[in-house]
A = this chain, B = another copy of it.
Amino acid sequence: MKKLYTKGRASIEFDSPVFFESCASITGPKEGQGPLKDCFDAICKDPTFGCDTWEAAESAMQKESAQMAIGKAGLSPAAIRMVFAGDLLAQTIASSFGIAGMGIPFYGLYGACSTMGEALSLGAMTIAGGYAEHTLCATSSHFASAEKEFRFPLGYGNQRPLSASWTVTGSASCILGQTPPKETHPNSMPLRKGSCCAAITGITTGKLTDYGLKDSLNMGGCMAPAACDTISQHLTDFGRSPSDYDAIFTGDLGYVGKKILIDLLLAKDIDITKQHQDCGILIFDADTQDTHAGGSGCGCSAVVLAGYILPGILSGKWKRVLFVPTGALLSKVSFNEGDTVPGIAHAVVIEQKEV
């Protein structure tokens, strides 16, 4: 019997850290006017990214973030053994026509807005198990392709309830590797500051959690129970308390979901009020940007991770964070057939490592 790295019911603790070699983020113009505007690698003024359709725009953005991340790591696409990627669209076409076309062995994922958590989890297992030298984890979302996919035509101009979130137009890619990143040539920009690196040390795999909500314009409410389940499972599995983390970032619960999450966890005697931040709240200024409950979409937690969280870990702002992207497993077919909107959340422990 081989050694097991499992921990508790749903977690894994790696015996050696899996390093972030690089990361890259690209967003649309609205995200480029928000509070995190100085964090992203690129902000495209044109939300079509020069393409004819919203889906092609999302694919272009995803490919661009992947190419940037590969370049920043000082690698070529041929050095990447596997890509883990997905998006929100039916049959994940943003990825099929985006990153999947780069000629790299490809595993397509569907985890709704939790995709970056799923990709990092699988990417880290693959690296830690010795099955890849470098993996690329990527995702994207686009406001216009998501509205078309899930809600109303943009031209219809429907009114959005205050519980609705605004899908982030953005894509981020991360390169994971076994060894600490290093500068290979003057143009590379590895994710390293002196001897400080960012690394994944553990994960908790989410379970589908369904409290019976059916409101596709209240994604935060649908996903909060899943975030609660994953965070409490994580703390139990690792025998940790919230104070063992400098910050706990959920993906895109927004203002509505954040309140529900805090309340649900308090009912389990877990208080994360001091540590909790939500990527969907961080990315937009709700007062001036008319984004109601906050940002959402696969791209939301992904660009906040690449643009804000990982740099903050390098700079010593946080030594250990729990990154918990949250997804709502909604489709227009299941919605129209009267089904609920179940949620899922995957947790990734990211730590500062001196090397």
Contacts and interface: CB of A to CB of B under 8 A. Distances in A.
A167 interface: no
A106 B344 CA distance: 9
A16 B105 CA distance: 23
Contact of A4 (B56, B92, B109, B130): B130
A90 B89 CA distance: 7
Interface residues of A, number: 66
B6 A106 contact: no
Q: How many copies does the complex hold?
A: 2
A108 B106 contact: no
A331 interface: yes
A30 interface: no
Contacts of A111: 107-108
A107 B109 contact: yes
A6 B81 contact: yes
Interface stretch (A37-45, A96-104, A312-320): A96-104
B55 A333 contact: yes
Interface of A: 1-6, 9-10, 12, 16, 53, 55-56, 78, 81-82, 86, 88-93, 96-97, 100-101, 103-112, 118, 121-122, 125-126, 128-133, 149, 178-179, 205-208, 210, 329-334, 337, 339, 342, 344
